[in-house]
Structure 1
Amino acid sequence: MKSFIEQTLDQLLEEEKFNLSQTTFVLPSKRAGSYLKEVLKQKITQTSFSPEVWSTEEFIEEISSLKSIDNLQSLFKFHNTYKELTPQKEQEDFEVFYGWAQTLIYDFNEIDRYLIDADDFFSYLSRIQDINHWALSDPQTDLIKKYLSFWNNIPLYYQHFQQQLIQENEAYQGLMYRVAANKIENYLSNSKQNYVLLGFNALNNAEQKIFQTILKKERGQIFWDSDHYFFKDHFHEASLFLREYAKNWKLYKDNNPFKHLPDNYIQPKEVDIYGIPKNIGQAKQVAKILKTIPSHKLSKTAIILNDEGLLTPLLNSLPAEIQKINITMGLPLKETPLASLFEIIFELQQLSSDQLYYKPVIEILNHPFVLHKLGENSKQLQHNIHQENLVYLTKKQILAFSNEETKRIIGPILDLHNSPLKLLQTLTGFIQNLRLKNSSDYLLETEYLYHFHQLFIKIRNLIENNSPIKTISSLHKIYKDSLETESLDFSGSPFDGLQLMGMLESRVLDYENIIITSVNEGVLPAGKSSNSFIPFDLKKEYGLPTYKEKDAIYTYHFYRLLQRAKNIHILYNTEPGSLNGGEKSRFITQLEIESPAHNQPRKQFLNPYVPARKTTLKKIEKSPEVIKKLKSLAAHGFSPSALTTYIRNPLDFYKNYVLNIRDSNEVEETVAANTLGTVVHDVLEHFYKAFEGKQILKEDLLKMKNSIEDQVKIEFQKTYKQAPIHKGKNLIIFEIAKRYIFNFLNKELKEIETNELYIKQVENKLTCSISIPELNFPIKIGGKVDRVDSLNKNLRIVDYKTGKVQSTDLNLKEWGELTKDYKYSKVFQVLCYARMIFEESYFEQAEAGIISFKNLKAGFMPFKQVKNTEINKDTLNQFETQLKSLILEIFNPEIPFEEKEV
């Protein structure tokens, strides 16, 4: 089946009077123009001058002789109009102006493109606002006066804005269309060219006037790309505009050119509709579909992306067999990695304080571009921030940890800039510093940097002279809006390989295989949202497009794609919780109901394949290198916590102690439980260390109580470094630490009223050897005992716990359970301490237990073995038997480190 462009060229080339060199082709897009040139090259057999091929925008610009300006430039020029016509005392800040000016410029565009009489239109709009806001009430409030004044001033803004632009030989799109419509007759009289208008559908009034003038003066032809199936159906929106032209254009009333429309749509087609959750699901399904298409037919295949967010996952999902792909839509700059980096910088620049929250700083240092440039310097700086626990930090602190290269690259963006121009200068300098050596090896990354550099230069040029942008927040808004329209264009052959494009890029082009993604309500069509000050009824009155006309445009594009296609795949997102997801487009429902019987679509609901995960427990065999590491640990001394880690999960023991893999240091914003425990332990060590070998008296404890706050502050500064403890949750935890110690000292005071308490040891590091005949190398256990004291001459080995411990946690029924179940870890720990104390200073009997700060009422909770709290030599022998058994298991090369089920 021939494409629309091929059919049109064949028809033209058969005409005797057709002169190719004196013809200008006008098409809706540049891409369509490129395709026309390629087809024309294949069809022309004789030497000939190439015709002009223009897109609509280029043609309008040629007629109007005005230079086109973009939305951002329009905004700044309109602000000059606003300042000139508005008394200074009534002028709003640029940020407020920016909020409504964009919408107003959009409305100016619409009014001009549809050739509306502006004076009459704005007068009508002003009267509507009078009625809507009770303007006839007496007296009017200042708010109503100001509001109505705004609507009355709009005609003045409009006229002045237009005059200013025309004087400078510039125009926004709508103004260019209005000027072109007024100049078309003069333009044609000065031109010898004939015009071929191809593939248009929804024409604004300016385009209709231009095209009708060309046709009326017999200076060209127009070819409509539609189908008889749609045109004959008076309710089908795909032909809404063509039916209007057939009815209203004088040229068509007597001679209807729509009589001979082709019947391509009813030809046999394979139509498949897939409901798939999420974008990733759609991308994977597109890849599956592509695998079914022969490689020689890929150049006749197009993927239509209605959601640009699908571009990246789709590119990552393409089958390896696809060698060539041409991407027309471009990668939006906001989707590139650099966009997130500059967003962080803008947020830092809008802080009201020079105190920087650590997370954005870490994000900057961890960003791939910065990390690639700074390497180990970035990692070292992050390590220092974590080490010092800097939740809030200043530029001075950051630079103090930095080397010269880091200062050069990071330093400028950490300065708080009050001037937008200075910030833009800093950002362009920052991009220069991020430039990668051997850029040929990093082509894509270099393109990212280049496009952002261009964007900042463009904004800087706009605001350099007499700029209304005075604040960084205003600059940030301008930057974000500019980012929405900028894209990174891909290079590729539009005539070879798989074609990937947006819906609008597909205009006039035909493909055998079509894959359309994200066919969801709210995406295709886009819905009723409209950024306009003009009410719906006023748009209807003056013939401006409403959501109905916009839906008809989407309908036309969608069905035009299907006309000549043979294999059609339509995908939509079934996920109801996602944005623009869950509800399939009305176009799919329409296909299901109205398609010809022989072209009824096949429907499928798909879910991504998720392989079943086998919960196999990991095993690590004990190699000679592992045994060597274990011997080294044993010689140094296994800690009670290491041994209880093995009891809980041997694989964790392997990771933490054999491989020495520990959690990396992170900035601790809120005091963690282990930090609180460390602080409490360190305060009590400071208080009690001076009393080793002495009796504790009442005055000693009272003196300690008076020093609680100062000492807790000191210990927090040591452990929690420079993180704040004077506000928020940290202040509460600080008070909890004070309360724990205060309550503990009160308990001690009460205890010594009737008892004698002697302190023997405080936080002493101890080790002891364990003789195991089966092992021919030294085995030790070691650790730090919180406190050893004597209460009424009864020896006690005390371990502090800031968490909650119950007395039942220290009960042991059977010795054989001690090293099998982690719930006895506290028993195991205090018995380890008792064994070490026994090695250092022999004792006949003692008690070993825990004081829990969350359960102080329970007091000292001793280890119990069938109601017996006494620890003697027999008890320790029983314990040592279990300990030896555990250590032998650890060193047994036949028993791997096996993960335990949680």
Structure 2
Amino acid sequence: MKTFLAEVVETILSENENISDIIFVVPGKRAGVFLKREIQNRMTRTVFAPQISSVEEFVQELSGLSLISNIQLIFEFYAVYQKNTPQEQQEDFYNFSKWAQVMLQDFNEIDRYLIAPEDIFSHLSSVKELDHWYLSDQKTPLQEQYIEFWKTLGTYYTALREELLAGQCGYQGLIYREAIENIEHYLHHNNHRKHIFIGFNALNNAESSILQEFLAAGAEVYWDTDRTFMEDPEHDAGLFMRQYKRKWKYYQKNPFKHIDNRFSEPKNIEIIGIPGKTGQAMYVHAILSELKNREELEGTAVVLGNEELLNPVLNAIPEDLEGVNITGGFPLAYSPVASWFHAFFQTLENEQSGKWYYQNVLNLVSHPVSKTLLFHKGRDLASGFIRTIQDNNIVFVTQEHLQNAFSELIADTGKDIVPVTELLFFSRENTTADDVIRKCSALTLRLKEVYALQGNQVFLEYLYRFYEIFNQIRFFNEKYQAISIHALTGIYRELLLQQTVDFQGEPLEGLQVMGVLESRNLDYETVILTSVNEGDLPSGKSGNSFIPFDIKIAYGLPTYKEKDAIYAYHFYRLLQRTRNVYLLYNSDPGSFDGGEKSRFIQQLTTFRQENHSIRERIAVPKVGNLPGPQAPVQKTPSLMETIRIMAEKGFSPTSLSNYIRNPIEFYKQSVLKVSDEYEVEETIAANTLGTIIHDTLEDLYKPLTGQVLTPDHVADMQSKVNGVIALKFAEVYKGGDFSRGKNLLSYEVAKQYLKNFLEAEAKRIRDGNAIKIIEIESNLKVPIDVPGISYPVYLKGKVDRVEETNGVLCFIDYKTGRVDQADVELAEWENLIIDYKYSKAFQLLCYSYMLTRNSSYSLPAEAAIISFKNLQKGFLKFAKKGASRSEKDYGITEETFRNFKEQLYRLISEICDPEIPFAEKEDQPKY
């Protein structure tokens, strides 16, 4: 395959004996590198290399101005804005920067397209006035200020232009406008040199004027297009070149170079829909894995329609693939140091009067970079601090917490060195943006010392770039004195997005990975193009501007229509000379940029070329069978020893209920002691609320053990309940704030629960019931003689309350959740250890059994649950249903225990049986 650049160089060498005096101008630097190679490969004698410039470099040379960075341009614009705006109407830099970026973009377009600024700004301000308040006879001060803003745009533009020209610099549009003024001067001093422009497409008005001036002076232009696009008046890929060929005076008498006829040649085109971005990257891996030799590799390019795919595509490149060149560099914003500084600024922005929200602190301290900084004398101080926050339920971290956690590190810090904790955590009060910048620079230097000792070259490269960023911000702040802490993070993010870490590679060899714009003028045998979706190729109606669509049309400024045509050219130019094409698009309709394939794919298939072989398919990942239930856990000798120890310590009713629900969960929680990850309880959890209510009732009722309740007892408890519950909240909900928000609601709910309960107690007394408190919160442990088990087995637990009501003994269990009477009624004894639905009844019987075996209580007795969410139902008593639905026995007798023990023994025998593994219950999910 002969590439476009090879054809152009071949033509130029045949027409020019000496190319040393030729100046080549190409769209981008990458095209210049490949052009230089083509010249070198075709030269048969030694000559001085010609000058090869990108169009940006060439236009800067023409204008005599240097390109200003976006950040510096914003600051220059802000200085102009302050000089030309009344003091009372001025915004701070942070708010100014939000709209200034869009305005500068419009200034740039106006200059690039050589629009008379006074005309368009006058037109724009008139339109804005008509759009909003044309019916108002008298305008408010706000309306007047709004209209005045649009009238002042011309003043801002002129003042900014003068300021930049005085400093011999400019933004791209201003450089183009100045270049037009200097063409004649430039040509006069370079009349002995020939200029050749190669591979341009969509030219702005300034570029169009420049090329026409140079054509008239003897320059040459080689266009990179195809007959298919030029002859079809509706094809967007040839839109601009058809206009140049038709409208430029030069082409009325001279040929239009260079129209090819390669697009209609045979091509194998595969169109593959793949769900997700990662899926596309993995499919790229599959294609690249099929490359067999170096020639195939060098003739292949992976072109990213959406450059967000760079990271997944890099990870998907086969490890055994040698010679990969990546254009554009790795975005610094994707580096681990960037995510660490993001966490740092998040913590800073959310600081409140010397306190930091725990989640922001955890995000920062748990980051691997922080752990490197906070590692001291072989100890991971960061992990210890995280555990302290979780154990003490610290929602807002203070300087005192930091001092206590890192006292060792602070004490061992050098005399003239600021401790790391003071660099990471500081109050914004009396802190300037310059202070923050200096701390950021100090942090990068601390990290440099650590990673230099580790020999981590990649991280050192990252840190060097961040050090550059903070130095730039410091320079701008010192020069313009405009940055607030609020604005600092925005400037930092803007600079970060512009930074990349360049890859080391050979740009002329091996597999090429690039963006769409880098592919200009380059040709490959095989092209893999990703993200061929609407919204990516083309980008759609994107782009912020203050200039309305109709005004853009009137003044010849580009709209989304022209941008779509530019994307069409790049897409079809990629396919123009290639033989094998893979077009990958995101077929996932649930993603923001997925689902709809690009219109370019639709055009390829609808207006199919005769020699194009097109195959469409949808790629799906290989999906195996869904995983079944967890494999049963066999009881090994060591596991049996653990179960024996558990039996001797005692099975609790809760753990046995857990086994009934799902033996695997019992195995994980009770045998292996695997618990859920402990986290800061920002809002009070249900189990915490239950603990608080249980502890409050224990404190209130414990002094009344052995006494008969009287109205005075209840009145005394009602007077104490608020104080006791506040104390219990402070004890149980460590460090938590329950003075506001959801926690305050939980606090009020707990108080209401207890007030309702005590009122129910008072009513029982008023109704003539004699209530005697026997025991409160008793810890129990009784032996169980399970047949077939040779070692001791115990049942243990804590009974909430035992009372005697009108001479009837009752064992009571408190539940803060909702329980209904049906939950404690049993029809068949076998269901007790089979169906988790009867877990409340099972627990009541366990407590009753332990109480009667541990004390001299006489039977019959009763057992009941008090549900705080169902207090109106009173005591929910255990009942054994009889033959008929209405027949119920509420008594706890020895016969009850005989039936219960039979089921209890069966359950414990199963747990302790080495032949019965712990297995998942099939019906477990329904509970």
TM-score (norm 2): 0.92
**Structure 2 residue 404 is the aligned partner of structure 1 residue 387:** no
- Partner Cα distance (1:403, 1:322) in 2: 51
Alignment match, 1:737: 750
Contact 1:246–1:256, Cα closer than 8 Å, also in 2? no
Task: Using the TM superposition, give the Cα deviation of residue 704 of structure 1 relative to its aligned residue in structure 2, in angstroms.
Answer: 0.5
1:804-854 C-alpha deviation (Å, 9 max, x unpaired): 122222222333332222222222222222222223213330222322222
Alignment match, 1:335: 334
Task: Using the TM superposition, give the Cα deviation of residue 777 of structure 1 relative to its aligned residue in structure 2, in angstroms.
Answer: 1.9
- Partner Cα distance (1:752, 1:89) in 2: 73
1:200-349 map, 5 Å: 200-218=200-218, 220-258=219-257, 261-296=259-294, 297-349=296-348
1:131-150 map, 5 Å: 131-132=130-131, 138-150=137-149
- Partner Cα distance (2:551, 2:5) in 1: 39
What residue identity is the alignment partner of 1:809? D
SS at match of 2:199: strand
- Partner Cα distance (1:662, 1:128) in 2: 66
RMSD of aligned Cα (Å): 2.4
1:121-165 C-alpha deviation (Å, 9 max, x unpaired): 434444444544566965454344333333333333222222211
Give the gaps of 5 or more residues in structure 2: 411-417, 882-887
SS at match of 1:206: helix
Change (3 A) 1:617 1:704: same
Alignment match, 2:423: 412
Alignment match, 1:864: 879
Change (3 A) 1:119 1:728: closer
Contact 2:351–2:427, Cα closer than 8 Å, also in 1? no
Task: Using the TM superposition, give the Cα deviation of residue 541 of structure 1 relative to its aligned residue in structure 2, in angstroms.
Answer: 3.3
Contact 2:787–2:905, Cα closer than 8 Å, also in 1? no
**Structure 2 residue 722 is the aligned partner of structure 1 residue 747:** no
What residue identity is the alignment partner of 1:205? N
- Partner Cα distance (2:731, 2:829) in 1: 41
What residue identity is the alignment partner of 1:893? P
Q: Which deviates more from structure 2 when the two are superposed, residues 590-599 or residues 576-585?
A: 576-585
Q: Which deviates more from structure 2 when the two are superposed, residues 476-485 or residues 590-599?
A: 476-485
- Partner Cα distance (2:788, 2:146) in 1: 94
- Partner Cα distance (1:705, 1:137) in 2: 67
Alignment match, 2:782: 768
**Structure 2 residue 467 is the aligned partner of structure 1 residue 461:** no
Match of 1:803 among 817, 824, 837: 817
What fraction of aligned residue pairs are identical, expressed as a percent?
A: 42
Alignment match, 2:94: 95
Alignment match, 1:402: 406
Contact 2:79–2:480, Cα closer than 8 Å, also in 1? no
Alignment match, 2:162: 163
- Partner Cα distance (1:144, 1:869) in 2: 80
**Structure 2 residue 18 is the aligned partner of structure 1 residue 4:** no
Alignment match, 2:198: 198
Match of 1:534 among 523, 528, 547: 547
**Structure 2 residue 515 is the aligned partner of structure 1 residue 490:** no
1:88-143 C-alpha deviation (Å, 9 max, x unpaired): 33333333432332222212212222233333443444444454456696545434
1:433-452 map, 5 Å: 433-435=446-448, 436-437=450-451, 442-452=456-466
Contact 2:303–2:530, Cα closer than 8 Å, also in 1? yes
Change (3 A) 1:832 1:111: same
What residue identity is the alignment partner of 2:548? P
Contact 2:25–2:197, Cα closer than 8 Å, also in 1? yes
Change (3 A) 1:440 1:40: farther
Contact 1:695–1:756, Cα closer than 8 Å, also in 2? yes
How many residues align structurally?
898
1:279-338 C-alpha deviation (Å, 9 max, x unpaired): 122222222232333343122111111212222222233334433322213333333344
- Partner Cα distance (2:582, 2:627) in 1: 35
SS at match of 1:818: helix
What residue identity is the alignment partner of 1:888? S
1:481-510 C-alpha deviation (Å, 9 max, x unpaired): 333333333222222222111110111111
- Partner Cα distance (1:680, 1:289) in 2: 64
Contact 1:812–1:864, Cα closer than 8 Å, also in 2? yes
Task: Using the TM superposition, give the Cα deviation of residue 352 of structure 1 relative to its aligned residue in structure 2, in angstroms.
Answer: 7.0
Change (3 A) 1:602 1:138: same
Change (3 A) 1:148 1:747: closer
Alignment match, 1:821: 835
- Partner Cα distance (1:152, 1:758) in 2: 88
Q: Which deviates more from structure 2 when the two are superposed, residues 876-885 or residues 294-303?
A: 876-885
**Structure 2 residue 899 is the aligned partner of structure 1 residue 888:** no
Alignment match, 2:371: 371
Task: Using the TM superposition, give the Cα deviation of residue 420 of structure 1 relative to its aligned residue in structure 2, in angstroms.
Answer: 1.7
Q: Which deviates more from structure 2 when the two are superposed, residues 24-33 or residues 501-510?
A: 24-33
SS at match of 1:629: helix
What residue identity is the alignment partner of 2:878? F
Match of 1:550 among 563, 571, 580: 563
Change (3 A) 1:126 1:772: closer
Contact 2:373–2:420, Cα closer than 8 Å, also in 1? no
SS at match of 1:725: coil
- Partner Cα distance (2:653, 2:457) in 1: 55
Give the gaps of 5 or more residues in structure 1: none
Task: Using the TM superposition, give the Cα deviation of residue 608 of structure 1 relative to its aligned residue in structure 2, in angstroms.
Answer: 3.1
**Structure 2 residue 19 is the aligned partner of structure 1 residue 20:** yes
1:668-699 C-alpha deviation (Å, 9 max, x unpaired): 12211111110111011101111222332221
Match of 1:615 among 621, 625, 628: 628
**Structure 2 residue 723 is the aligned partner of structure 1 residue 710:** yes
**Structure 2 residue 668 is the aligned partner of structure 1 residue 655:** yes
